Amino acid sequence: MSKRDYYDVLGVSKGASADEIKKAYRQKAKELHPDRNKDNPEAEGKFKEANEAYEVLKDADKKAAYDRFGHAAFEGGMGGGGPRPGGMGGNGDFASAFSDVFDDLFGDFMGGRQGGRQRAARGADLRYNLRVTLEEAYNGLQKTINVPTSVQCGSCKGSGSEGGAEPTTCPTCSGMGKVRATQGFFTVERTCPTCSGLGQMIKNPCKTCGGNGRVHKDRALSVNIPAGVETGTRIRLAGEGEAGMRGGPPGDLYIFIEVEKHRIFEREGVELHCRVPVSMIAAALGGDIEVPTIDGGRSRVKIPAGSQSGRQMRLRGKGMPALRGGNHGDMFIELAVETPVNLTSRQKELLREFEDLSEDNNPEASSFFSSVKNFWDSMKG
């Protein structure tokens, strides 16, 4: 099926003005509207056809391209910027064509109504993931981060209008930002599709930002990370998110903290845990050991004589600071008694002697070992 000429579709001459084209299109759209033509595939096809023709002829650039090249202008990617209208034809999506016409018609019908006009769109919130070490979480830190974001366009001062010229009132909604549509018994109000609820249109979009009023930029921000942050802590920087559309208020920036795993310490809230190796001799005889602390210093800890592996000891106030102030948590150390290795023959001799003495001193232990020995002997027999 060859495509009909767009001017024929709308029933206007080639020299028709923009107003005449609009008028002719609205007439067609009302006639062919699916609500009035239930179960009429022919009307549906014409409805889409009219919509497609209008998509091209209402746009000065597309119209010029069509006048020069005909339908070929929109086949094979010639048509410059914007969505190509070709797709709306025979195999196009009916729902989208339908909604386009709907929007246009209702804008016209409801133009004069009062309605809540939306404020200029607020910018998006941004999330920034920041990894810090446990030491940094302990001390708190000042960090400069680079946030890729949108900022207000300097050329148009965020208005989106070239040279900062005042935007004009949106013709679809007459500046209300909302349009109303009657569907059966209901009146539905929704955001104006032409101006996205802003109520204003820009005649000459700013060349720097394309009319958004904002441009992409990496912004260096100095951020204060308080002591005591944990994985999952969120820090909100109000107004440091993306700039709003056309001068709208900016969003917020959220910094999400992730504290890296530490080589020595394990953290549980404000408590710190670590394992400290102790020599067998120190564990048996008792003594002082030095343990590293998260503030970079060292603490002396007294080991009681006869300490077993796994014994826990508390160092008060040597844990993490609480994020919302108050006392530091405690640090807990767990002793790990080390068995000596690579013994010299003299050391072995001394240990054997020690063992003999232990058996003499500790008849219970020796009777335990002998009963175990008896048990194994009986198993062999």
Structure tokens at 211: 């009319």
206 binds Zn ion (CB under 5 A): yes
Cβ proximity to Zn ion: between 3 and 217 the closer is 217
110 binds Zn ion (CB under 5 A): no
172 binds Zn ion (CB under 5 A): yes
**Span interacting with Zn ion, options 22-30, 50-58, 205-213, 292-300, rule CB under 5 A:** 205-213
Reported in sequence order, the residue ranges of the chain that DSSP labels E, i.e. its strands, are: 126-132, 141-152, 168-169, 178-183, 186-191, 200-201, 214-225, 234-237, 253-259, 266-268, 271-279, 287-292, 298-303, 312-315, 331-338
174 binds Zn ion (CB under 5 A): no
- Min CB(224)–Zn ion separation in Å: 32
- Min CB(22)–Zn ion separation in Å: 16
120 binds Zn ion (CB under 5 A): no
Q: Which of 150, 194, 293, 307 binds Zn ion (CB under 5 A)?
A: 194
Q: Which of 50, 53, 156, 229 binds Zn ion (CB under 5 A)?
A: 156
Q: Which of 133, 155, 191, 279 binds Zn ion (CB under 5 A)?
A: 155
Identity at 379, one-letter amino acid code: M
Q: In terms of C-beta density within 10 A (0-12 exposed, 13-18 middle, 19 or more buried), how is residue 64 classed? A: exposed
Mapped onto helix, strand or coil, the DSSP state of residue 114 is coil
149 binds Zn ion (CB under 5 A): no
Q: Which of 37, 139, 191, 208 binds Zn ion (CB under 5 A)?
A: 208
Cβ proximity to Zn ion: between 195 and 331 the closer is 195
Cβ proximity to Zn ion: between 130 and 156 the closer is 156
DSSP assignment of 166-187 equals PPEEPTTTTTSSEEEEEETTEE
Cβ proximity to Zn ion: between 110 and 134 the closer is 110
Cβ proximity to Zn ion: between 10 and 156 the closer is 156
- Min CB(87)–Zn ion separation in Å: 25
Identity at 13, one-letter amino acid code: S
- Min CB(123)–Zn ion separation in Å: 15
Mapped onto helix, strand or coil, the DSSP state of residue 369 is helix
Q: Which of 9, 32, 56, 209 binds Zn ion (CB under 5 A)?
A: 209
**Span interacting with Zn ion, options 195-203, 278-286, 295-303, 354-362, rule CB under 5 A:** 195-203
Q: Which of 50, 120, 192, 245 binds Zn ion (CB under 5 A)?
A: 192
How far, in Å, are 119, 212, 249, 257 from residue 122 at the CA level? Answer: 8, 12, 5, 25
Distance CA 223, CA 233 (A): 14
> Which three-class secondary structure string do you get for 308-339?
CCCCEEEECCCCCCCCCCCCCCCEEEEEEEEC
Candidates 193, 216, 204, 203; CA nearest to 118 is 193
Q: For the stretch 224-254, what's the b/e string if a residue is b when 16 or more beta carbons lie within 10 angstroms of its beta carbon? A: ebebbbeeebebebeebbbbbbbbbebbbbb
Identity at 272, one-letter amino acid code: L
Structure tokens at 233: 């802590």
Query: How many residues belong to the site for Zn ion (CB under 5 A)?
Result: 12
Cβ proximity to Zn ion: between 79 and 177 the closer is 177
- Min CB(253)–Zn ion separation in Å: 22
153 binds Zn ion (CB under 5 A): yes
170 binds Zn ion (CB under 5 A): yes
Cβ proximity to Zn ion: between 48 and 214 the closer is 214
Cβ proximity to Zn ion: between 194 and 307 the closer is 194
**Span interacting with Zn ion, options 52-60, 148-156, 221-229, 236-244, rule CB under 5 A:** 148-156
Residues with Cβ within 8 Å of residue 311, at least 6 apart in sequence: 334, 335
Distance CA 84, CA 78 (A): 9
Q: Which of 195, 225, 253, 278 binds Zn ion (CB under 5 A)?
A: 195
57 binds Zn ion (CB under 5 A): no
- The binding site for Zn ion (CB under 5 A) comprises 153, 155-156, 170, 172-173, 192, 194-195, 206, 208-209
